[in-house]
Amino acid sequence: MPVGIRTQELCKTYNSAPPLGTAGGFVARADAKGSKQPKNQIPALDGLSLEVQPGEIFGLLGPNGAGKSTTVGVLTTRVRPTSGVAWIGEHDVWKEPTKVKHLIGVVPQRPNLDFSLTAREILVFHGAYFGIASRVRNERADGLLEKFKLTERGNQMVRGFSGGMMQRLSIARAMMHDPQVLFLDEPSAGLDPQTRILLWEIIREYHQAGKTVLLTTHNMEEADALCQRLAIVDHGHRIALGTPAELKATIPGGFVLRLRFGNQTPELLKKLEGLSGVREVRPAEPAGVDVYADRGGSLISEIANLAVGSGAELSDVHISEPSLENLFLHHTGRSLRD
Amino acid sequence: MNWKTFGAMLARDAHVARRNAIQLVLQTFLQPLLFVFVFGKVMVSSGFLPEAYKSLLLPGIISISMVFTGIWAVAMPLIAEFQWTREIEDRLLAPISVGWIAIEKVIAGMIQALIAGLVVIPMAWLVLGRGVQISLGSPGTFALIILLIATFSACGGLALGCTINQQHIGLMFGMVITPMIFFGCTYYPWSALKTFPILQKAVLINPLVYASEGMRATLAPQFSHLPVAAVLGALLFFDILLLVVGLQQFEKKAVS
């Protein structure tokens, strides 16, 4: 039976640097400088509530340091929350961690493979940790090596593997005990496009078998292509939730024109708002404007004319089509890559 | 408690130990055997040390081999696996509570320490040649003491391995291991320190003293040694202390 995921008001404050692999906090630390908090208190999660339906592919989208990895850490028994509750299915993660560990498979942001073992041994021992019978775990290991195109390297130590191979093996290992819930923390970071497509296919296939998948990403394309629902997180809380299509529909107009001027006047902003198809005009730092509109390129000539008319020198134009990236920009005023 | 998972983790450690067997054997036995050769053979046969020193040295060599095998076997992999590669995470995510993973490491370390102790006896005896006077008066006490020594070494490895970072391994040797060896009554009996009364009291905080004296008490009782009851009590105390500290430190490292 498919298993869901739920969190309620999760908070996590690290007392020192967060553990490796959980990026949450490193960015927040810079923000915390000069604030009232003691130096080594690093807030990573600030009241995050989520509900992932059984059998859903759910995405956590946000920039580095948003708290995505910390959320995964809390849900996978690796990071103890400062407050709040997390459930996998019926089980409170921090009251019944062993039961939860049976249900979940985890692909960390950075491969944490057992360097003392060969690729095949990693899978077989992982199966043994989960009490899988010898014959079954050997068969399953061979099947997964085949699926992830690692059969030829199966009997080699993983120390010499490339990043992509390690990542593939990490995913194979997480699937070894056929978990009901699969966590993937930035699964396609560092993968070449072919491997990324292979990974997406495997995730979809796993989902079709009735499993729940939670993945974190800051890759819009990936979130858009894979996830049924998304939560956008920033500074440890949720800023938007919905299907990719729903979320994109909330961006006024859909298109974003990021304009930069040599010198801009309030009068110019007013005029921009008056153009047909423009839904919202927001000043952006430094000396620029983000124009949300329901058309893109066709606005440029009008904008250029306005700029000339008010003596503002248009120095840069960037047009983006409706995307989750724009959604993030709309909610935070920052680009995901900032 | 999930015995299947526990057993699988022990099997994993045994598998890795078998793979590194040659390295482990050299690491465990080379230094004590060289020491036995130089002090027990060269110094004795050239007349600088009396023949009886052979019998005094052997129990000390057993205890030091056991203690450092156990510490090494638990601490070094833990230090590496908790570093940035986080290799231990596949076991932290196995369906077993975190404390049992630490216990598994302790059991694996104890087994290695016991093997080291039992193998070094015939090897050292072979190097020393004739004139070794070792007797096993009370096998039960001997078994209890080597079990307590193995536990102390593995728990010490757990506590050290979860406290020290990779960049401080050198410091650990300089500040912890070296003084422990030299003030561990391995190459001389505790009674030999009686001309240094303050030092003689101070070394009692060193658990290796009880390991060496305990070995001496059961294998070569002809030399003066600490009372067996004191040895048992002290070893038990250090076992429990280091286990509690080790488990706490492990939990701290495992869950952030």
Give pLDDT tens digits for A40-85: 788 888 888 999 999 999 999 888 888 888 999 999 999 999 999 9
Whether residues B5 and A73 touch (CB distance < 8 A) is answered with no
Query: What pLDDT is stored for residue A25 in this prediction?
Result: 37
Task: Specify if A90 maps to a domain.
Answer: yes
B16 part of contact set with chain A, CB < 8 Å: yes
Which A residues, 2 through 21, put their C-beta within 8 Å of a C-beta on chain B? 14, 18-21
pLDDT category of residue A35 using cuts at 50, 70 and 90: very low
Query: What pLDDT is stored for residue B170 in this prediction?
Result: 85
Task: Specify if A334 maps to a domain.
Answer: no
Query: What pLDDT is stored for residue A291 in this prediction?
Result: 85
* In the predicted structure, residue A26 carries a pLDDT above the cut 80: no
Task: Specify if A60 maps to a domain.
Answer: yes
Ordered mean pLDDT values, 10 residues apiece, chain B (256 residues): 90 93 88 88 90 90 91 90 84 92 95 92 86 86 94 95 86 85 91 92 93 93 90 95 95 89
Beta strands A5-14; A181-185: pairing state? unpaired
Whether residues B9 and A129 touch (CB distance < 8 A) is answered with yes
| Pair A15, A74 in one domain | yes
Query: What pLDDT is stored for residue A33 in this prediction?
Result: 43
Query: What pLDDT is stored for residue B149 in this prediction?
Result: 95
Whether residues A129 and B94 touch (CB distance < 8 A) is answered with yes
pLDDT in tens, A229-256: 999 888 888 888 998 888 877 777 778 8
pLDDT in tens, A51-61: 999 999 999 98
Query: What pLDDT is stored for residue B138 in this prediction?
Result: 87
CA B160 vs CA B23, B247, B248: distances in Å = 22, 11, 12
In whole angstroms, what separates CA A88 from the centre of its chain? 19
B216 part of contact set with chain A, CB < 8 Å: no
* In the predicted structure, residue A34 carries a pLDDT above the cut 50: no
Whether residues A112 and B12 touch (CB distance < 8 A) is answered with no
Mention every residue, 6+ apart, whose C-beta is less than 8 A from residue A72.
Answer: A22, A60, A78, A106, A183, A185, A214, A216
Query: What pLDDT is stored for residue A142 in this prediction?
Result: 95
Return the number of other C-beta atoms located less than 10 Å from residue A316's C-beta: 10
pLDDT category of residue A336 using cuts at 50, 70 and 90: low
* In the predicted structure, residue A224 carries a pLDDT above the cut 60: yes
The domain that contains A213 carries what CATH number? 3.40.50.300
Residue with tokens 């409170």, as numbered in its chain:
A92
Of A252, A264, A244, nearest to A309 by C-alpha is A264
Determine the residue type at A129: Y
Contacts of A106 in chain B (CB under 8 A): 93
Of A112, A123, A125, A179, nearest to A150 by C-alpha is A123
Percentage of chain A modeled with pLDDT above 70: 91
Q: What does the block give as tokens for B105? A: 């490491």
pLDDT category of residue A338 using cuts at 50, 70 and 90: low
| Pair A122, A107 in one domain | no
| Pair A90, A234 in one domain | yes
* In the predicted structure, residue A29 carries a pLDDT above the cut 70: no
B85 part of contact set with chain A, CB < 8 Å: yes
Largest Cα span, chain A = 78
Whether residues B2 and A114 touch (CB distance < 8 A) is answered with no
| Pair A156, A194 in one domain | no
Query: What pLDDT is stored for residue A18 in this prediction?
Result: 56
B97 part of contact set with chain A, CB < 8 Å: yes
Global pTM reads 0.83
pLDDT category of residue A17 using cuts at 50, 70 and 90: low
Q: Indicate the number of domains in chain A.
A: 3
Task: Specify if A59 maps to a domain.
Answer: yes
B3 part of contact set with chain A, CB < 8 Å: no
Kindly identify which residue of chain B lies nearest to residue A95, measuring between CA atoms: B97
Q: How far apart are CA A1 and CA A21, in angstroms?
A: 30
- B80, A14 in Cβ contact below 8 A? no
CA B181 vs CA A231, B60, B184, B206, B226: distances in Å = 58, 10, 5, 9, 18
Contacts of B78 in chain A (CB under 8 A): none
H-assigned helices in chain B: 3-19, 21-35, 43-45, 53-81, 89-92, 98-128, 139-161, 169-172, 178-182, 197-202, 207-219, 228-254
| Pair A49, A22 in one domain | yes
Contacts of A80 in chain B (CB under 8 A): 255-256
Nearest to A20 among B84, B95, B255 (CB): B84
The domain that contains A269 carries what CATH number? 3.30.70.100
DSSP conformation letters of B137-187 = S-HHHHHHHHHHHHHHHHHHHHHHHTT--GGGHHHHIIIIIHHHHHTTTSS
| Pair A82, A191 in one domain | yes
Nearest to B86 among A102, A112, A130 (CB): A112
Percentage of chain A modeled with pLDDT above 90: 36
Contacts of B12 in chain A (CB under 8 A): 114, 117, 125, 128
* A16 to chain B, closest Cα gap in Å: 10
Q: What does the block give as tokens for A99? A: 């039961």
* B11 to chain A, closest Cα gap in Å: 9
Query: What pLDDT is stored for residue A218 in this prediction?
Result: 78
* B77 to chain A, closest Cα gap in Å: 10
Boundary of a domain, candidates A230, A247, A264 = A247
pLDDT in tens, B135-148: 888 899 999 999 99
B256 part of contact set with chain A, CB < 8 Å: yes
| Pair A144, A194 in one domain | no
Contacts of A115 in chain B (CB under 8 A): 85, 87
In whole angstroms, what separates CA A266 from the centre of its chain? 37
Query: What pLDDT is stored for residue A262 in this prediction?
Result: 77
Of B164, B130, B155, nearest to B211 by C-alpha is B155
Whether residues A77 and B93 touch (CB distance < 8 A) is answered with yes
Q: How far apart are CA A295 and CA A224, in angstroms?
A: 21
Contacts of A130 in chain B (CB under 8 A): 5, 94-95
Q: How far apart are CA B184 and CA B147, in angstroms?
A: 18
pLDDT category of residue A216 using cuts at 50, 70 and 90: very high
Whether residues B95 and A14 touch (CB distance < 8 A) is answered with no
pLDDT category of residue A111 using cuts at 50, 70 and 90: confident
Kindly identify which residue of chain B lies nearest to residue A16, measuring between CA atoms: B256
Mention every residue, 6+ apart, whose C-beta is less than 8 A from residue A148.
Answer: A168, A169, A171, A172, A198, A202
Mean of per-residue pLDDT scores for chain A: 84
| Pair A260, A181 in one domain | no
| Pair A106, A142 in one domain | no
Kindly identify which residue of chain A lies nearest to residue B17, measuring between CA atoms: A116
Whether residues A130 and B97 touch (CB distance < 8 A) is answered with no
- A293, A253 in Cβ contact below 8 A? yes
Task: Specify if A102 maps to a domain.
Answer: yes
Task: Specify if A272 maps to a domain.
Answer: yes
Query: What pLDDT is stored for residue A27 in this prediction?
Result: 41
* B243 to chain A, closest Cα gap in Å: 22
Query: What pLDDT is stored for residue A97 in this prediction?
Result: 92
Q: How far apart are CA B9 and CA B23, in angstroms?
A: 21
Angle at the Cα of A12 from the Cα atoms of A6 and A15, rounded to 5 degrees: 160
Boundary of a domain, candidates A247, A272, A303 = A247
Kindly identify which residue of chain B lies nearest to residue A14, measuring between CA atoms: B256
pLDDT in tens, B90-126: 999 999 999 999 999 999 999 999 999 989 888 888 8
DSSP conformation letters of A252-304 = SSSEEEEEEESS--HHHHHHHHHSTTEEEEEEETTTEEEEEES--GGGHHHHH
| Pair A34, A135 in one domain | no
Angle at the Cα of B147 from the Cα atoms of B143 and B151, rounded to 5 degrees: 175
Task: Specify if A331 maps to a domain.
Answer: no
Characterize A20-59 residue by residue with b for buried, 16 or more Cβ atoms within 10 angstroms of its Cβ, and e for exposed. Answer: bbbbbbebbbeebeeeeeeeeebbbbbebebebeebbbbb
B170 part of contact set with chain A, CB < 8 Å: no
Q: How many CA atoms lie within 13 A of A297 on its CB side?
A: 0
| Pair A15, A95 in one domain | yes
Contacts of B5 in chain A (CB under 8 A): 129-131
* B118 to chain A, closest Cα gap in Å: 26
Beta strands A181-185; A212-217: pairing state? parallel
Whether residues A130 and B16 touch (CB distance < 8 A) is answered with no
Query: What pLDDT is stored for residue A30 in this prediction?
Result: 42
**Looking at A19-28, A115-124, B120-129, which range is the least confident one?**
A19-28
pLDDT category of residue A196 using cuts at 50, 70 and 90: confident
Q: What does the block give as tokens for B179? A: 């003084």
B95 part of contact set with chain A, CB < 8 Å: yes
Of A250, A254, A237, nearest to A292 by C-alpha is A254
Task: Specify if A338 maps to a domain.
Answer: no
Query: What pLDDT is stored for residue A101 in this prediction?
Result: 93
Tell me which residue range forms the domain holding A298.
252-321
Q: What does the block give as tokens for A65? A: 């340091």
Boundary of a domain, candidates A231, A247, A263 = A247
Nearest to A115 among B4, B9, B87 (CB): B87
Q: How far apart are CA A157 and CA A129, in angstroms?
A: 20
Element (H, E) at A170: helix A163-175
Contacts of B9 in chain A (CB under 8 A): 129
Query: What pLDDT is stored for residue A22 in this prediction?
Result: 52
| Pair A94, A108 in one domain | yes
B91 part of contact set with chain A, CB < 8 Å: yes
Nearest to B256 among A79, A122, A129 (CB): A79
In whole angstroms, what separates CA A286 from the centre of its chain? 28
Query: What pLDDT is stored for residue A19 in this prediction?
Result: 53
